[in-house]
């Protein structure tokens, strides 16, 4: 659909004209023409991988067969956040929340609900055995405050009119018609917004530095998002791409730029497709180009694809990659606000940071500072993963405790296991132990306990995780992703990994712990960029809080969690063994043999494991229904 918006007045008229397109999802029960219901289907990457596209196709076919296709509006949205429950389908105006829907369920939903008005209870999402009547009825949402994600799961990300109906492009209109560049920058300073992609540098201060520079300038967006388990920026691009376009235009106006680049990893095909379509729509509408909203402001933007290098999340490496060179960091200073992309002053923020900006402009900085803590304002989006009941995407006010996120929003640890630690900040962050679960989450609190906010990945671990192995996992990642430009990172991280391998294989010495700490501190202080400077954090934080596990690996030659294979022995408790032989049949190396021992009350001789043959695959434990096999 091509629309033209060449003035602020035209934008306001479009907002009024398109308001009814989303009204039913926001509480209105009035039908719009023949449309009496909206069916929203999650089209984020998680639900797409679960088959949501096939779900939509089945629904379109069934509605056509029943002759009611013109009465039901189907909308593919971005992520709702509840990734573990996908594919998700919401029916408005009632807000009925269906989860894990399959194409085979569509005929029943259409016949019973969309025609007959009766909810299909067996498909309603459940919480603690209770059917949920809507998304807001779920504990998962009750402590959330959606700012960056406010349109995700609400609008069609491939339809600019739905974004406009939700106050879209009103912030850039306000900026261009009633605010000076200095006032925009001051608004960002007053809001206290800090960068959501790493160390939390004040956004307004970054803009102020760039505004003070002269000559050609650029705005850029870091949508590379390389942390394992992180998908916050991807979800904004998939669910609300116009918010990024509008925010980058505001940044361009504030610093005096006329060109922008979004650096996206090529592994995000849905995000790339929707962002490109949004850019094309905005350009056709006159919201990008030589005369935005008829004000004379000139700004346009384009996408640059990254090849998935983690180091390109570092701002200077990212800009080097956009320029067409190998993604390697540059020494700072000079900082990008003075000398950035193509050697020109550049503002670079990540997607989540930008997603807050239109809301701050429209609602005012005081509204934003009303959320969060003294030094960390607003909200933060986290990607919850690992040993947690409700995996997915959450947005909470800064200062929300780790306990609230894990136990209330996340639903706690499954299978009756105990919470052991949480990793924040990805490979650059640290592990937070269980006794610090009541720590309020903000930039300064996380730094004080040896972790960091990072981009917002939050990996939950239970008693079955080995913290030495966790440190090794993240260090392996940074070793692989090091660009190799500086010696401390290129060589130092490899030496760290060698020491961890030595400990995990049962060959460690107590002196290795001092070596780990000493080498980690050298790497942190001498590396060129943030990748190397933060690479030792998982090692240092696990040494700080889980030193006893390192000592057990070194002194006792045991892995308390039973994870490190070289330090684990599988054993059959013969008095529990019924002699059924199922474990022996499943053993891939023939390490389980029958003995002569018959346990009291049993009829068949018990089995035993030959430690020399055992490859510690765990197939025997998974097979034994009598729980007669243990790891020690």
Query: What is the phi/psi pair of residue 51, to 5°?
Result: 105, 25
Q: What is the CATH number of domain 379-462?
A: 3.10.20.600
The answer to whether residue 423 scores a pLDDT higher than 70 is: yes
Superfamily of domain 19-135: Glutaredoxin (3.40.30.10)
Using pLDDT thresholds of 50, 70 and 90, give the confidence band for residue 2: confident
**What radius of gyration do the chain's Cα atoms show?**
27
pLDDT band of 128, cuts 50, 70, 90: confident
CB–CB of 582/549 below 8 Å? no
Dihedral of alpha carbons 193, 303, 145, 421, sign:
negative
Residue span(s) of the chain under CATH 1.20.1440.230 come to: 467-556
User: Which CATH class for the 467-556 domain?
Assistant: mainly alpha
| Among candidate residues 264, 259, 261, the one with its CA nearest the CA of residue 236 | 264
Q: Domain 160-365: give its CATH architecture.
A: 3-Layer(aba) Sandwich (3.40)
Residue span(s) of the chain under CATH 3.30.70.20 come to 569-631
Which whole-number Å values give the CA distances from 151 to 29, 147, 271, 505, in the listed order?
20, 8, 15, 49
Q: Where are the beta strands (DSSP E) in 289-335?
A: 289-292, 297-306
Domain with CATH 3.40.30.10 in the chain: 19-135
pLDDT-based confidence at residue 426 (cuts at 50, 70, 90) = confident
pTM of this prediction?
0.93
Residue 132 has pLDDT above 90, yes or no: no
**pLDDT band at 631; cut points 50, 70, 90:** confident
Fold category of 569-631 in CATH: Alpha-Beta Plaits (3.30.70)
Residue 105 has pLDDT above 90, yes or no: yes
Q: Write the DSSP string, 605-622.
A: --EEE-TTT-----HHHH
How many Å apart are CA 290 and CA 566, to the nearest integer?
A: 65
Task: Please write the tens of the pLDDT for every residue from 325-374.
Answer: 999 999 999 999 999 999 999 999 999 999 999 999 999 999 999 999 99
Q: Determine how β-strand 297-306 pairs with β-strand 379-386.
A: unpaired
455 pLDDT higher than 80: no
pLDDT at 1 over 70: no
Comparing 198 with 396, the larger pLDDT belongs to: 396
Asked whether the beta carbons of 465 and 571 are under 8 A apart, the reply is no
Residue 304 has a pLDDT of 97
């Amino acid at each position: 659909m091509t629309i033209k918006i060449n003035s602020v007045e035209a934008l306001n008229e479009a907002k009024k004209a398109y308001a009814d397109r989303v009204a039913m999802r926001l509480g209105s029960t009035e039908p719009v023409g023949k449309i009496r219901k909206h069916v929203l289907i999650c089209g984020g990457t998680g639900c797409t991988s679960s088959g949501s596209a096939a779900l939509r196709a089945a629904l379109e076919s069934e509605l056509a067969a029943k002759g009611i296709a013109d009465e039901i509006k189907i909308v593919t949205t971005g992520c709702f956040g509840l990734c573990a429950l996908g594919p998700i389908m919401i029916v408005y105006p009632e807000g009925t929340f269906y989860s894990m829907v399959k194409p085979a369920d569509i005929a029943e939903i259409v016949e019973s609900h969309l025609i007959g008005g009766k909810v299909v209870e067996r498909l309603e999402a459940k919480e603690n055995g209770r059917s949920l009547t809507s998304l807001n009825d779920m504990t998962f949402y009750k402590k959330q405050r959606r700012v960056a994600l406010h349109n995700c799961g609400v609008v069609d990300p491939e339809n600019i009119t739905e974004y406009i109906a939700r106050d879209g492009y009103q912030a850039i209109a306000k900026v261009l018609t009633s605010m000076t560049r200095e006032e925009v920058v001051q608004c960002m300073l007053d809001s206290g917004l800090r960068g959501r992609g790493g160390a939390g540098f004040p956004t307004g201060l970054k803009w102020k530095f760039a505004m003070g520079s002269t000559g050609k300038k650029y705005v850029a967006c870091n949508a590379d998002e390389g942390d394992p388990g992180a998908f916050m920026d991807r979800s904004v691009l998939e669910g609300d791409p116009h918010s990024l376009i509008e925010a980058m235009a505001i940044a361009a106006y504030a610093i005096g730029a006329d060109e922008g680049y979004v650096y996206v990893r090529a592994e995000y095909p849905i995000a790339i497709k929707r962002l490109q379509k949004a850019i094309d729509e905005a350009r056709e509408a006159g919201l990008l180009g030589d005369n935005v909203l008829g004000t004379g402001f000139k700004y346009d933007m384009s996408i640059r694809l990254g090849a998935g290098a983690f180091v390109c999340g570092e701002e200077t490496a990212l800009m080097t990659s956009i320029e067409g060179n190998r993604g390697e960091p540059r020494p700072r200073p000079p900082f990008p606000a003075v000398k950035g992309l193509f050697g020109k002053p550049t503002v670079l923020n990540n997607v989540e940071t930008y997603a807050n900006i239109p809301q701050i402009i429209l609602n005012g900085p005081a509204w934003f500072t009303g959320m969060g803590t003294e030094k960390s304002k607003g909200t933060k989006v986290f990607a919850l993963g690992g040993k947690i009941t409700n995996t997915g995407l959450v947005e909470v006010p800064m200062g929300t405790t780790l306990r609230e996120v894990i136990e209330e929003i996340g639903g706690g640890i499954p299978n009756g296991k105990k919470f052991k630690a949480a990793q924040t900040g990805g490979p650059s962050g640290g592990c937070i132990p269980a006794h610090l679960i009541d720590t309020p989450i903000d930039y300064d609190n996380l730094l004080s306990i040896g972790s960091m906010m990072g981009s917002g990945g939050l990996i939950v671990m239970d008693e079955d995780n080995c913290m030495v192995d966790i440190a090794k996992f993240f260090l392996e990642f940074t070793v692989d992703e090091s660009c190799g430009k500086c010696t401390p990172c290129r060589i130092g991280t490899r030496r760290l990994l060698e020491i961890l391998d030595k400990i995990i294989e049962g060959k460690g010495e107590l002196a290795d712990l001092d070596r780990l700490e000493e080498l980690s501190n050298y790497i942190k202080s001498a590396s060129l960029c943030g990748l190397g400077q933060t690479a030792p954090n998982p090692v240092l934080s696990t040494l700080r809080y889980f030193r006893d596990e390192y000592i057990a690996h070194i002194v006792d030659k045991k892995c308390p969690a039973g994870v490190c294979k070289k330090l684990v022995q599988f054993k059959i408790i013969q008095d529990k063994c019924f002699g059924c032989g199922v474990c022996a049949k499943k053993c891939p190396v023939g390490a389980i043999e029958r003995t002569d021992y018959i346990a009291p009350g049993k009829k068949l001789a018990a089995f035993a494991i030959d430690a020399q043959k055992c490859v510690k695959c765990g197939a025997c434990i998974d097979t034994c229904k009598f729980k007669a096999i243990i790891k020690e």
